[in-house]
Amino acid sequence: MTALDDTTVTAPPPLRRNRDFLLLWTGNWLQFFGSRMSSVCYPLLALQISGGSAEAVGLAATAAVLPQAVVQLPAGVLVDRWDRRAVMRWCAVGRILALGAVGVALTLGALGMELLLALIAVEVSLAIISSLAERVAVRTVVPGGQLPAALSQNEARGRIAGLLGGPAGTVLFTWVRWSPFLAATLGALVAAVNLRFIRADLRAGTREPGRALHRDLADALRWLLGQRALRAMLPVVTVSTALLQVVMQGLVVILVKEQGLPEATLGLVLGISGCGGLLGALGARWFMARLPLSVLLIGGLTLWAALMNAMAWARGPVQLGVLFALMNIVGAVFGVATAVYQVTVTPQELQGRVAALSGLVVALGTTAGAFCAGKLLEAYRGLLSLLVAAGLMAVTAAVAALIPAVRRARIPDAARPAAPPATPPDT
């Protein structure tokens, strides 16, 4: 018997047999699917309540976006201080009450704009807090070597919910106005029940009692600024996400306004592109096992620039849908890779705050990008706007390639998926 025989290491079970991960994943998938259904119905509900006011639709959209800026930072501190299981459970209970209140008030004819906007803000805020807590919990219930697969499955979960949740929500809303909110309530209920049966210890580490919130945030910001790769990648990802808004809004302008196609055509394009995002999420682990993070990020931005340039010259919904699907494949791959990198290099006690800080920066960039994209498309139409955005994306890729910390960025070996071994030649 050799020393190696005495120290055999038992491999962790695959994710499909990881009970805690499956409970967390399925519960939050149903909850996320419910969020997709309810979010697509909020503007429709605002339009109905207001008697067809476009301003009311804008207010509903604002109520859904505003928590991204207001709630992120305190949510990050909360997640790092409290038991993540309790945080997710109480968020699920809160969402059950908020979504149930929408359905009940709607049934009783008592739902006004003020109440709707308040309930939207509450429900979205609780979803943000729960999402941060789940992201931290994944690292606890999944071994480091399985993190890429776990986060890839989470990304795929979001893509599937995006593909199916919107259409399902609109169909249910057309059938019975309160039905999508009931379905979302049931999803949150399942998530709350699943959390009860997770065995892993999801409590946060010890902390200094009575510590001010701003001191906790300052600790996370100080750590983040001390990480050269993360500090460099965050603005690169933020700028690229902002430029992506030109594509999102440009599809509407090109298809409906400039090419005169029916509005339903946009659904076809988004359906094709959504399939691309799902493929990218499922294939992210394969790419991560073969390419370093720097290649995935810089190469992904370069491909985005080329595809945006091609979209400017594309004609017809199928061509635009296929090109946008390719963009979604690329985005899902380097999105999962950067998420794995952030989760693995961030200390466990800072996970929530670092994720919140990063999410806030990207959200602010997305908001600014959406505003500037509208101005750009108004001034220069679809073709020229896409060409401008493609040029700026190419510049972003070049800048990223010039930053040494980005070029040297590597996912830690403990979290890097192993490439399949080469087959030995026959002898």
> What mean pLDDT do residues 202-222 have?
78
> What mean pLDDT do residues 61-72 have?
82
The amino acid at residue 63 is A
Closest Cα to residue 348, out of 201, 233, 205, 177? 205
What angle separates helix 72-81 from helix 351-402, to the nearest 10 degrees?
A: 120
Q: Which burial class, exposed, middle or buried, applies to 123 when counting CB atoms under 10 A from its CB (0-12, 13-18, 19+)?
A: buried
User: Which residues are CB-neighbours of 209 under 8 A, at least 6 positions away?
Assistant: none
pLDDT at 424: 47
Structure tokens, 178: 């309160």
Confidence tier at 427 by pLDDT (50, 70, 90): very low
pLDDT at 6 over 70: no
Looking at every residue in the chain, the average pLDDT score rounds to 85
Lowest mean pLDDT among 4-18, 47-61, 63-77, 268-282: 4-18
> What mean pLDDT do residues 362-379 have?
82
303-327 pLDDT, tens digit each: 999 999 999 888 888 888 899 999 9
User: Which residues are CB-neighbours of 122 under 8 A, at least 6 positions away?
Assistant: 94, 98
pLDDT at 5 over 60: no
Radius of gyration of the chain (CA): 22
Write the DSSP assignment of 290-316 as a string of letters. TS-HHHHHHHHHHHHHHHHHHHHH--S
- Helix ranges restricted to H, 50-83: 54-70, 72-81
The amino acid at residue 274 is G
Rounded to whole angstroms, the Cα distance separating 271 from 83 reads 38
User: Which residues are CB-neighbours of 162 under 8 A, at least 6 positions away?
Assistant: 36, 274, 277
In the chain, the percentage of residues whose pLDDT exceeds 70 is 91
pLDDT at 205: 65
- Helix ranges restricted to H, 71-199: 72-81, 84-108, 113-141, 147-175, 179-196
Rounded to whole angstroms, the Cα distance separating 172 from 421 reads 48
Lowest mean pLDDT among 10-14, 19-23, 94-98: 10-14
pLDDT at 426: 47
8-state DSSP, 349: G
Confidence tier at 54 by pLDDT (50, 70, 90): low
> If you classify domain 15-199 with CATH, what class do you get?
mainly alpha
pLDDT at 45: 86
- Which H or E run includes 336? helix 317-345
Which has the higher per-residue pLDDT, 259 or 419?
A: 259
Q: What is the pTM of this model?
A: 0.78
Confidence tier at 419 by pLDDT (50, 70, 90): low
Question: Ramachandran region of residue 234, left (φ > 0), alpha (ψ -120 to 50) or beta?
Answer: alpha
CATH code for 219-413?
A: 1.20.1250.20
The amino acid at residue 201 is D
Confidence tier at 210 by pLDDT (50, 70, 90): low
pLDDT at 273 over 50: yes
72-129 pLDDT, tens digit each: 888 888 888 889 999 999 999 999 999 999 999 999 988 999 999 999 999 999 999 9
Rounded to whole angstroms, the Cα distance separating 317 from 377 reads 19
145-169 pLDDT, tens digit each: 888 888 888 888 888 887 788 778 8
Confidence tier at 52 by pLDDT (50, 70, 90): confident
CA 369 to chain centre: 17
105-114 pLDDT, tens digit each: 999 988 999 9
Rounded to whole angstroms, the Cα distance separating 353 from 221 reads 8
Tell me where in the chain the CATH 1.20.1250.20 domain(s) lie: 15-199, 219-413
Closest Cα to residue 341, out of 417, 241, 243? 417
